[in-house]
Structure 1
């Protein structure tokens, strides 16, 4: 992948937290979606302020989008992805401004698990440019990104551009592939946000908010359960069904660009069996062995979750309303579980936005930590 490049231009005004509305739409059972669980191909890779800045996010096909401006283009619907670092804009969507700079660099962004079930691949060809980029009025005046180039898919299972208008990675530059500073880190380095942290508040009704530059305690109940990260946004935790721990000290990547929850096949089998969910092991295009569970749609489990011992032992479960990956098309009233088994690595889990729904998740670069709390749904 390309990487984003950091520039030293400083803004003279620093703001507190920004609230960005996010948006989502449900995914249909037969629809191919772009699920960016990059870890299969990538290296596994402080303050509370009175005023808040936020922006809405929306949900579509299992992924959350914010409204960005890049160059002269405005209202670009870009996927919010904590599992990657680079920004990329689709063909015809980027409108260069007078500040646009062609970096004369090209390459291919490679993604795995591009389908809701965790399979599939994407090869995204790009040229590298630098231009201004902004979200909710917060501007990185010199942001390096990939301008996606239209290419012919090598086969029917390979995706060659992003859904909607592109993607913005909210990880750090260590997992960037175009050699540049990620968008949010660029805001931090330029003093645009009051603190180098952001929050994702995904409701179960398809609406959500991204908080930039602070933590908004009005959005959740109680206090944050915090955990140290080994790298953005990877931490350690336990997997449980109810009070029964299925696996301890697992490596967990928090990836908003993944729609489901993916774990090692042996552990997912054990988890689904303990939860009373029928499962089958199948081979799918773009995957080797996949474990998938099926349950009655009107009886979703509510006791499958994760605990983070570096914070405390409180389990944070997948909400029943978010447990459905897809509804079976044969009309038998069964649904596919959002927990999928794929062996990406020993004791390695990719925890996507279906687990994040109903929670406030704080991503804090300043303290090298993540925090979790139950979201106020009203």
Structure 2
């Protein structure tokens, strides 16, 4: 029953995910909405937030391991270190093996990717600016791939086995691992030849109730465990696209999209405010500040923009200072760095990097009611030390849904613009 349910979800997503629209020489890919941390009755899903934080922590822990292997610890941010692996509580490990409601599955922005030639094999992948590897399930001998769209190398005349293995561990104690291949990878009408990726034969149970078939990382090669050029950078190097920029519009209520080879100028007004990146592997910018109701609370921090997570994270002491500036706010969970605030007075929280102040809307700052009938809501900013550096913040789509975000590989910059 579960497999049939997952297949139905995946088929529905294929039906509505990733229509592609050519605009000039770029390509727009429509993305389904990310599901929220709010139950149907408006209350906050605490368990989902725990899982999200553990997945995010371990993803960036693996990034640091990869960065150390590729460039050495001298490439780390000041104060960054590889911390102990985050493990889910036993009751949440068990929860991953049980069927979920449709609105409980997944936290990703999904797009259809086709692998192989002459006939492409389609899969739903998460476009993730917080990682750099591409992986998908393998058609034969894959544990945990039931109900997933998988890759069969024997069906592609361009498939080449690299002879190495990819492996990464997830918070439930299970892994994603398998052999590495090179093949043709298509997104819409753009094609990367000789793209290196993993076809995993072991998929974490965390993906059992999730419609995604894999991940497509969009950060830089120095974060790649595969030591391979990431997909978008491959497009740039192969001159498949004329612009080295990709852009996101993310929304919980409107259509969301990824634009490859430029930006979709119909989705924002004015010009992009660009900021140079300061990291060897991350989409990280410097000089950040955060204001509450017009008053700057914390400043001078680095910021990683990560489409692969939903919650915004900052150093615990800095986040504590932010909520201390919000009247009536209080700790909800000290272990998870979560805070609550009065629902009837959502604060104006805004980030800036020396230019425009980019405000978080009331809807995007609110993760739901503490409990049914409560007058308190959960804030989308959590105080968690991700090990990324002494003064480094991590902003997911709770921030990105308030701006148009552009990522420029050639000029190594992140840009923001006002949504149309």
Do the structures match in fold with TM over 0.5?
Answer: yes
Q: 1 CA distance for matches of 2:401 and 2:381?
A: 14
Q: 1 CA distance for matches of 2:212 and 2:384?
A: 27
- Counterpart position of 2:132: 85
Q: In 2 relative to 1, CA 68–215 (structure 1 residues): closer, same or farther, beyond 3 Å?
A: same
Does 2:159 correspond to 1:100? yes
Question: In 1, are the aligned partners of 2:105 and 2:210 still within 8 Å (CA)?
Answer: no
Point out the more displaced range, 26-35 or 240-249. Answer: 26-35
**Shift of residue 355, structure 1, vs aligned partner:** 0.4
TM-score by length of 2: 0.71
Does 2:111 correspond to 1:69? no
Does 2:327 correspond to 1:276? yes
Q: 1 CA distance for matches of 2:365 and 2:357?
A: 16
SS at match of 1:290: coil
Does 2:191 correspond to 1:139? yes
SS at match of 1:374: strand
- Counterpart position of 2:357: 315
Residues 135-284 of structure 1 mapped to structure 2, 5 A cutoff = 135-150=187-202, 164-205=212-253, 207-231=255-279, 232-236=282-286, 237-276=288-327, 278-280=329-331, 282=333
Question: In 2, are the aligned partners of 1:204 and 1:358 still within 8 Å (CA)?
Answer: no
**Shift of residue 365, structure 1, vs aligned partner:** 1.3
Q: In 2 relative to 1, CA 297–61 (structure 1 residues): closer, same or farther, beyond 3 Å?
A: farther
Q: In 2 relative to 1, CA 269–26 (structure 1 residues): closer, same or farther, beyond 3 Å?
A: same
- Counterpart position of 2:5: none
1:341-369 deviations in whole A, cap 9, x for unaligned?
01223111000011000311010112111
Q: 1 CA distance for matches of 2:106 and 2:203?
A: 23
Question: In 2, are the aligned partners of 1:233 and 1:253 still within 8 Å (CA)?
Answer: yes
Does 2:363 correspond to 1:304? no
Q: 2 CA distance for matches of 1:209 and 1:351?
A: 18
Question: In 2, are the aligned partners of 1:198 and 1:362 still within 8 Å (CA)?
Answer: yes
RMSD of aligned alpha carbons: 2.7
* Unpaired segments ≥5 residues, structure 1: 1-14, 46-58, 115-119, 284-288
Q: 2 CA distance for matches of 1:80 and 1:209?
A: 11
* Unpaired segments ≥5 residues, structure 2: 1-23, 40-44, 65-75, 78-103, 138-144
**Shift of residue 273, structure 1, vs aligned partner:** 2.0
Residues 41-60 of structure 1 mapped to structure 2, 5 A cutoff = 41-43=62-64
**Shift of residue 132, structure 1, vs aligned partner:** 1.4
Q: 2 CA distance for matches of 1:173 and 1:143?
A: 13
Question: In 2, are the aligned partners of 1:239 and 1:250 still within 8 Å (CA)?
Answer: no
Q: In 2 relative to 1, CA 103–297 (structure 1 residues): closer, same or farther, beyond 3 Å?
A: farther
Question: In 1, are the aligned partners of 2:132 and 2:230 still within 8 Å (CA)?
Answer: yes
Q: 2 CA distance for matches of 1:130 and 1:365?
A: 22
**Shift of residue 204, structure 1, vs aligned partner:** 3.8
Point out the more displaced range, 144-153 or 202-211. Answer: 144-153
Q: 2 CA distance for matches of 1:126 and 1:162?
A: 19
1:290 to 332, 336, 339: 336
Question: In 1, are the aligned partners of 2:133 and 2:226 still within 8 Å (CA)?
Answer: yes
Question: In 2, are the aligned partners of 1:197 and 1:212 still within 8 Å (CA)?
Answer: yes
Q: 2 CA distance for matches of 1:152 and 1:191?
A: 35
1:192-225 deviations in whole A, cap 9, x for unaligned?
1111110001124152111111123221122211
SS at match of 2:411: coil
- Counterpart position of 1:16: 25
**Shift of residue 308, structure 1, vs aligned partner:** 0.8
Question: In 1, are the aligned partners of 2:106 and 2:211 still within 8 Å (CA)?
Answer: no
In terms of fraction of residues, the more helix-rich structure is 2
